[in-house]
Amino acid sequence: MVSIYAIENPSGSFYIGQSIKTKRRFTRYRAMDCKSQVGLYNSFKKYGVNNHKFSILHLLPYDIDRKVLDNYELFYIKNDKKMAKESSKQRLANLIQSYEQAVKSAQSLYDDDDLKQWAIDHSLLCQDKIKDVKKKLKDTFSIDYNATDAKKKVIKEGSEVEVLVNHMDGMKGGTAKIKSYSLPANISDITMKDGMKMKDHKWLTNDEVKLK
C-alpha cells in the first residue's frame, strides 16, 4: 500500500511520512525498529508505541512517480501538520466540555438522597479533570480556556463559526454562534447566507463548522 501517513503522539505532535509498503512500515514502527528516526523513536520511548495514533492521510497508486510521491509528502507536511494541531487543541476543548457536562449531570442527582454523596464525589472528580485538561491546553497550545479570546482559538460557547453543511438551503457558508453543547453536537444561532436568522438550531457537530 503506497501512502502518505501520519503518527500522532499524546502531546499532539505529528510525524508525517511516505511509504510504498505502509503496512510493513507500521509493523516496523510498532516494533520500535526506527532508531535512525531519532524524534519518532524518542517519542515511542517516552509515551509508548501503543499510545500513538497511526493514520493514512492519502492512498496513492503503486506506479506513482517518486517525485510526485515526494511532492505529496511535502504538501501534507506543510498543510496537515497545521490542521493536525488544530484538531488536537479542539479535542482538548471537547474534553473540557465533556467533563463540564458530566459535572452538570452529577449535580442534577443531588436531590436523590441515595445518590447524593456519590454524585458529589463524581462532580468533584470531574471538576479536577477540567482543571487538568485546561492546564494541558494552556501548556501545550498557550490557550487559556477561560480567557475571552479562547472562543477564537477553539470551538466553544460564544465562538463564531462558518457553517460547512446544508441542513437546509442557505445554511452552507452562513455564520453561526455557538450557544451550548451536548457533545458531540451544539446548539447555535445561525445567520443564513441570505441574511435570514435562525435561533437555537439543533444540531451542528464540530466537523460541520469551522472557526471564522
Give pLDDT, residue 20: 93
Domain positions in the chain: 2-64, 86-148, 155-211
Give pLDDT, residue 184: 60
Give the residue-averaged pLDDT of 9-18.
Answer: 84
pLDDT above 70: residue 196: yes
Q: How far apart are CA 112 and CA 70, in angstroms?
A: 62
Pseudo-torsion of CA 98, 99, 100, 105, nearest 10°? 90
Mind listing the pLDDT tens digit for each residue in 109-120? 999 999 999 999
b/e burial code for range 155-176 (CB count within 10 A of at least 16 → b): bbeebbbebeeeeeebbeebbb
pLDDT above 70: residue 82: no
Give pLDDT, residue 186: 76
Pseudo-torsion of CA 40, 46, 47, 53, nearest 10°? 0
Closest CA to 88 of 14, 12, 140: 12
pLDDT over 90 percentage in the chain: 44
DSSP state of 10: T
- Global pTM? 0.57
Non-local CB neighbours of 123 within 8 Å, separated by 6+ positions: 102, 103, 106, 107
Q: How far apart are CA 1 and CA 9, in angstroms?
A: 23
pLDDT class of 136 with cuts at 50, 70, 90:
very high
Give pLDDT, residue 80: 62
Mind listing the pLDDT tens digit for each residue in 147-187? 999 999 998 888 888 888 777 788 888 888 888 876 566 78
Does the domain at 155-211 match CATH 2.60.40.1930? Answer given as: no
pLDDT above 60: residue 81: no
Mean pLDDT of the chain: 87
Angle at CA 170, nearest 5°, toward 165 and 175?
Answer: 70
The more confidently predicted of residues 144 and 66 is 144
Q: Is 203 helix (H, G, I), strand (E, B) or coil?
A: strand
pLDDT above 90: residue 13: no
Mind listing the pLDDT tens digit for each residue in 96-106? 988 998 998 99
